[in-house]
């Protein structure tokens, strides 16, 4: 059995602990070291098992004085799906009027997260 160690920087609080997660060949966690609180340990284990991210990007705007509209997911999505979502959003075109919080794409790629406008799009 080989022991693999991943270092994860915890972002739960300003301490930014460097947490080491050791796992075996089958990705079973053997030990977690370097955290200073329970939340840090939980974050590192979750990040090791299934890293999640908020996607922040832009979509093309038409019939507007702005060429792009900033958008983001309203929930975290699996890090491994970011590129798939970016490819999908590259084909999306929006037109005014749109305001911050408006849903641009519902349940993108069936991931349980909507793409919402971050800015306002006027004529």
Per-residue model confidence as pLDDT tens digits over 49-99: 999 999 999 999 999 999 999 999 999 999 999 999 999 999 999 999 999
Q: What is the pLDDT of residue 122?
A: 87
The C-alpha atoms of residue 73 and residue 113 are separated, in whole angstroms, by 6
Q: What is the pLDDT of residue 15?
A: 93
Q: Cα dist. 116→51, 72, 88 in Å?
A: 21, 6, 14
Going 109 to 81 to 93 to 71, the CA torsion angle's sign is positive
pLDDT-derived band at 43 (thresholds 50, 70, 90) equals very high
Q: Cα dist. 99→33, 118, 120 in Å?
A: 45, 8, 4
pTM strictly above 0.75: yes
């Amino acid at each position: 059995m080989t022991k693999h160690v991943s270092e994860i920087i915890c972002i739960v609080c300003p301490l930014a602990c460097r947490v080491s997660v050791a796992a075996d060949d089958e990705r079973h966690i053997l030990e977690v070291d370097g955290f200073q609180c329970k939340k840090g340990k939980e974050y590192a284990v979750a990040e090791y098992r299934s890293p999640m991210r908020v996607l922040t990007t832009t979509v093309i705007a038409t019939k507007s004085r702005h060429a792009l509209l900033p958008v983001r997911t309203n929930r975290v999505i699996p890090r491994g799906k970011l590129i798939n979502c970016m490819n999908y959003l590259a084909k999306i075109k929006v037109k005014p009027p749109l305001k911050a919080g408006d849903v641009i794409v519902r349940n993108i790629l069936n991931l349980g997260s909507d793409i919402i406008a971050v800015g306002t799009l006027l004529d």
